[in-house]
Structure 1
Amino acid sequence: MADKTFSFSPDTLDGVAARVLELARQQGASAAEADVSEGVGQTVSVRLSEVETIEYNQDKGVSVTVYLGRRKGHANTSDFSDEALSDTVRAALDIARYTAEDDCAGLADPQLLADDLPDLDLFHPWQLPVEEAIALARRCEDAARAVDARIRNSEGASVSVQANQFVYANSNGFSGGFASSRHSLSAAVVAEADGAMQRDYWYTAARHRDDLLPVEEVGRLAGERAVRRLGSRRVKTGQYPVLFEAPVAMSLLGHLTAAISGGSLYRKSSFLLDSLGKPVMAPLVTIDEDPLLLRGLASSAFDNEGVATQSRRLVDGGVLQGYLLGSYSARKLGMQTTGNAGGAHNLVVHSTGESLAELLAQMGTGLLVTELLGQGVNTVTGDYSRGAAGFWIENGVIAYPVEEITVAGNLRDMFRNIEAIGSDVLDRGGRRMGSVLIGSMMVAGGE
């Protein structure tokens, strides 16, 4: 496919990868792999209608991994010349010679490598002139500032257009790659009343510009979210139901994936050790991994090792059906890779059908969390304690905004106490999940 987005053709990247493998063989490597990539993009931001930044990025790189038996070495370069490639391979081999042998090191098993590389509709370049990008950013910020006269300041609005392509190849005969795009719009504004200020934001991201939210809607949501936080106060410390709004609920899914990822499991640093086939969440929770989702922001027919990815059910009725493993972690655990070298691919959490309003009504009285602060999560024990802001809910409706509070519990208990998952799913990343209602958590606020 002819395209002027990139400086190099796919054949050129493929040729560089093949040359790296040949150089590695000539220099004595028993096995090797190469990742050759190129990225281009433009980001424009405005603040208070004035252009603040115009950034262009264009980069390329070669990542080389070589093996001397079970010894591994790795090196990188941004130079595609034959001399630089040879030097990089030599550097990787030098590292391998001084590395201890590891019985689990090595390429992925050849029989697991992908041989079917479907077009997942991931590449939709947006040739956006900088003048038009500036105009879009201004429209977005203007829409946010127009929401309410109490919006007195702005952190700005930005428009980002990005495209990438890569080829991964290894000495077991695999070679594959594809081009992809990711575009985004965002706005963040500050509202002020009675000497107090509140900030909030909103953004949208997609492979294709037509899948982005309208510019004015992004701005309006940012403005409304900032204004509604004015007048925040603390709540009385106690045990309450907690509803995590969709944008922050996705962080809970991140804690799950961290706990069931190979690195955490073989290091025994996960609160979900030996949980395969056991209940880890409430029976109403079902989670799928869909790596072949068209236009998905985490879609790929193969993982970082060339292993074929497969659609599967990760959690079924609360029961954990699989881990997230690459070849190395799988060998450490005496298992087989799940095609997750590099992470999960499009996790989809099934909704129980309720809208956000219906979840609030179901909760009755409790806390709606719209922002989380800090990093107080221990994935070894599952202990969870984070600063939060949001809204106090009474009789199913918002009573007032709250801030300077902490929500605490243990992820094992939190997962099993999920009472509903909303239909307000956000589609702007590799996790698709609605708001999550948890039956009871400790909320620390005022006396």
Structure 2
Amino acid sequence: MDRHQMDVLEHAVDAALSALSAAACAGAVSVGSSEHWMVAVRDGRAEQVDAGTNRGIRITAWTDGNRTATVTSADLAPAAVSAAAARAAELAAACDADPWGGLAPIERCGQAQVALDLDDANGFAAFSVEDGIKRLIDAERAARAADPRIATIHRSRCSSRRGTGLFATTHGIRQRETATRFGLSVSAVADAAGEKHLGWDATAARHLEDLRRPDQVGSEAGRRAVEGYGWRRPPTGRWPVVFRRETASELLDTVTSAVWGAAVFRGQSFLADAVGTRITAPAVTIIDDPLLRRGLGSRDSDGEGVRAAPLLVVANGVLRSFLVDGEAARRLRHPYTGHAGGTSNVRLLPGTDSLDVLLEKLGTGLLATRFHGHGVDLAAGTISKGVDGFWVESGRIAYPVQEATLAGDLREILHGIRAIGDDPETETTTSSPSLLIDGCTVAGEAGGKNR
């Protein structure tokens, strides 16, 4: 972003703050501008190209009595911004009072003074649509070479984005952040013996140099497309399950949803009264670290200007904190945690067991590699999802599994974590290593056994 573009953002913020002050309102202003491109390739040819620049401003006003309203606009001209801020103040005056709204305490606001290294300006400038097409062609070629049963590439995409955001409040907070993000994904389709299977893989990074090679992504997509051939339903019963890191990360995402402040104060979480109690196995520690260098979810402050800091969510199985924005902090009388806008980099800390060791400890049971559907009831604390994977006997993979269901009580599942792997996901904002868990019900073929 050049100096002129930055001046446009700065002047927009100034105009909004001035108009809010003139209306005797407190308020917060977020303004951003980003450049991006995305290219999709199929069978070696560009199928779709999307490129452009997005700009916008969001103005929230609070009047006396904590009446609030928000106005957004794509027009950053000072006159248009001033009019939008005046409109926000006018609307706020007509609204009912919101006892839970307001600016974050100024003593909690600021930017963490840590070198997060989120902006790869040189990589963004050098990486062109043509470069993206070449990478996708290389990835497609690798996917097809992975196995002769790969019939087609369902979808392959590459993207590049750079954006700058400013945040300011009428009580003197002013912050700025610039970040980049690059991505590449491939979906391969295997077609043989009357069966079709889809395999997918992706890479994402803040810096271009941190993306995995296209041939690695393509080869993995091809491998995943064929791993389900010869599938069967597993025996029905209670079995130990190894959640491979992909499905373990989905389970971790369910936990973070259950400790989300809004879910708690709305009575929609089975963990609403659980702070200070053991919610999972003693070996489990979960953190949310917004200060991870080059992290996909890293930031120096949250969406309300609260200074970012690592948060210990679960320590040795005990829930230490909910994840709250300003409203949830007030409603729950909970310390601010800097979560306006969502989580950052949630991590379940890894153990020392390789996936092979986890399978040996499993003995006989299910290796879950993919979930289907949205079968989680956070209020009741239950899960019931379609699952793919592999049946394991005596610590060795016996055959692929499909058309199965994994179900159970989330409390029992979390307490049933018996071993933690050493293989956390690295290219995601919610990361868990593989987990060996007792206490799951697997539904497949009739006539199974309990264990």
What's the counterpart of residue 122 of structure 1? 118
For the pair 1:108 / 2:110, whether they are aligned, the reply is no
What's the counterpart of residue 449 of structure 2? none
> Is this contact kept in 2: 1:141–1:156, CA < 8 A?
no
> Is this contact kept in 2: 1:18–1:169, CA < 8 A?
no
For 1:280 and 1:152, locate their aligned partners in 2 and report how far apart those are by CA, in whole Å.
Answer: 46
Secondary structure in 1 aligned to 2:336? coil
Q: Which amino acid is 1:131 matched to?
A: E
> Is this contact kept in 2: 1:48–1:156, CA < 8 A?
no
Q: Deviations over 1:377-429 (max 9, x none)?
A: 01111110011111111121211111111100111111111112211111112
Q: Which runs of 5+ in 2 are unaligned?
A: 447-451
What's the counterpart of residue 8 of structure 1? 5
For 2:28 and 2:115, locate their aligned partners in 1 and report how far apart those are by CA, in whole Å.
Answer: 23
Offset, 1:129: 2.1
Listed as ranges, the matches of 1:236-247 within 5 Å are: 236-247=235-246
> Is this contact kept in 2: 1:282–1:415, CA < 8 A?
yes
Superposed structure 1 runs of 4+ greater than 6 Å apart: none
What's the counterpart of residue 285 of structure 1? 284
Q: Deviations over 1:195-221 (max 9, x none)?
A: 111101001111011111111111111
> Is this contact kept in 1: 2:237–2:443, CA < 8 A?
yes
Residue-pair matches, total: 442
Secondary structure in 2 aligned to 1:360? helix
What's the counterpart of residue 213 of structure 2? 214
For 1:120 and 1:16, locate their aligned partners in 2 and report how far apart those are by CA, in whole Å.
Answer: 26
For 2:443 and 2:94, locate their aligned partners in 1 and report how far apart those are by CA, in whole Å.
Answer: 52
Q: Which amino acid is 2:175 matched to?
A: G
Q: Which runs of 5+ in 1 are unaligned?
A: none
Cα-Cα RMSD: 1.5
Listed as ranges, the matches of 1:242-321 within 5 Å are: 242-321=241-320
TM-score (norm 1): 0.96
Offset, 1:18: 2.3
What's the counterpart of residue 81 of structure 1? 77
Q: Which amino acid is 1:354 matched to?
A: D
> Is this contact kept in 2: 1:150–1:193, CA < 8 A?
yes
Offset, 1:342: 1.5
Secondary structure in 2 aligned to 1:8? helix
What's the counterpart of residue 14 of structure 2? 18
Secondary structure in 1 aligned to 2:5? coil
Distance 1:351 1:115, change over 3 A: closer
Q: Which amino acid is 2:326 matched to?
A: S
For 2:41 and 2:201, locate their aligned partners in 1 and report how far apart those are by CA, in whole Å.
Answer: 15
For the pair 1:225 / 2:218, whether they are aligned, the reply is no
Offset, 1:94: 3.2
Offset, 1:156: 2.6
Determine what percentage of the aligned residue pairs are the same residue. Answer: 35
Offset, 1:271: 0.3
Offset, 1:254: 1.2
Q: Deviations over 1:53-80 (max 9, x none)?
A: 1111310110110001211100100100
What's the counterpart of residue 145 of structure 2? 146
What's the counterpart of residue 391 of structure 2? 392
> Is this contact kept in 1: 2:111–2:300, CA < 8 A?
no
Q: Which amino acid is 1:308 matched to?
A: R
What's the counterpart of residue 45 of structure 1? 40
> Is this contact kept in 2: 1:191–1:230, CA < 8 A?
no
Q: Which amino acid is 1:18 matched to?
A: D
For 1:147 and 1:115, locate their aligned partners in 2 and report how far apart those are by CA, in whole Å.
Answer: 46
Q: Deviations over 1:31-52 (max 9, x none)?
A: 0100000111111111122221
What's the counterpart of residue 58 of structure 1? 53
Q: Which amino acid is 1:167 matched to?
A: L
For the pair 1:404 / 2:400, whether they are aligned, the reply is no
Secondary structure in 2 aligned to 1:108? coil
Offset, 1:336: 2.4
For the pair 1:157 / 2:152, whether they are aligned, the reply is no
For 2:94 and 2:402, locate their aligned partners in 1 and report how far apart those are by CA, in whole Å.
Answer: 53
For 1:230 and 1:20, locate their aligned partners in 2 and report how far apart those are by CA, in whole Å.
Answer: 59
TM-score (norm 2): 0.95
What's the counterpart of residue 362 of structure 2? 363
